[in-house]
Amino acid sequence: MSRVNLPTERRFPKLYGIDAGGVGICVVGLLLLFFAGIRPNVHLKKAAAVQITQMQAQREKVSELQEQAAELTGELDDTRKALNDTVLHLMPASRVNLRISEMADLATDSKLRIDGIEPGQAVKGPLCDTVPLVLNGRGRFSDCATFLHHINNTFPDISVESLELTGNPANLSTTVEFRLQLLWYASPE
């Protein structure tokens, strides 16, 4: 059997329309793929790049803040250690009778005669409480000066608010009456 070759145009005349339709469908498909898949991904990549940049800036800021927090924590620890190492440890205001007894002993050691020690009402403060103390007594002027010096050295938590002396300033060896107003710094309770 022999084969007859027919021209292509005659053999498949309608295939050009089908080929054009297929090409059109492929083009539409590619356009849909581009606009539905590729183009949004390009925008997402750009948005992701912006977010990554912002996140890196935030990480750097967090790192800086962590370094500052570490420095401040170190300073706070140093301050607390220095505070604990100080020799001034405040007693609570409830121990006022002990402090009065110690003040009376110091006055006696300074050769003063105490007529009375009157504690006032404790005043609450932001860092410590304060308790006013009033000492009335008698002694020589030089003994009063010695007593004030000993108060400063023995009780660093007591400050002198006022001192009233009554006597003869011309004769320092005579007895003077004194009224000493002190402020005792106590730990908060």
User: pLDDT (tens digit, 9 = 90+) per residue, 123-169?
Assistant: 998 888 999 999 999 999 889 889 999 998 899 999 999 999 888 77
Residue 103 has pLDDT above 80, yes or no: yes
CB atoms within 10 A of CB 101: 12
**Vertex 83: Cα angle to 82 and 89 (nearest 5):** 135
Q: Residue 28, SS3?
A: helix
Altogether, the residues listed in the chain come to a count of: 189
Nearest to 118 by CA among 160, 187, 188, 179: 179
pTM (two decimals): 0.54
For residues 75-84, give the mean pLDDT. Answer: 83
CA distance 157 to 13: 115
Provide the terminal-to-terminal Cα distance of the chain, rounded to the nearest Å.
Answer: 122
Nearest to 143 by CA among 186, 185, 114: 114
Return the pLDDT at 114: 93
Q: Residue 36, SS3?
A: helix
* Between residues 87 and 82, the one the model is more confident about: 82
Residue 11 has pLDDT above 70, yes or no: no
Return the pLDDT at 87: 66
Q: Average per-residue pLDDT in the chain? A: 84
Return the pLDDT at 15: 55
Could you read off the pLDDT of 15-71 as tens digits, one per residue?
555 666 777 788 777 777 777 777 777 777 788 888 889 999 999 999 999 999 999
Return the pLDDT at 10: 52
Return the pLDDT at 85: 76
CA distance 107 to 4: 143
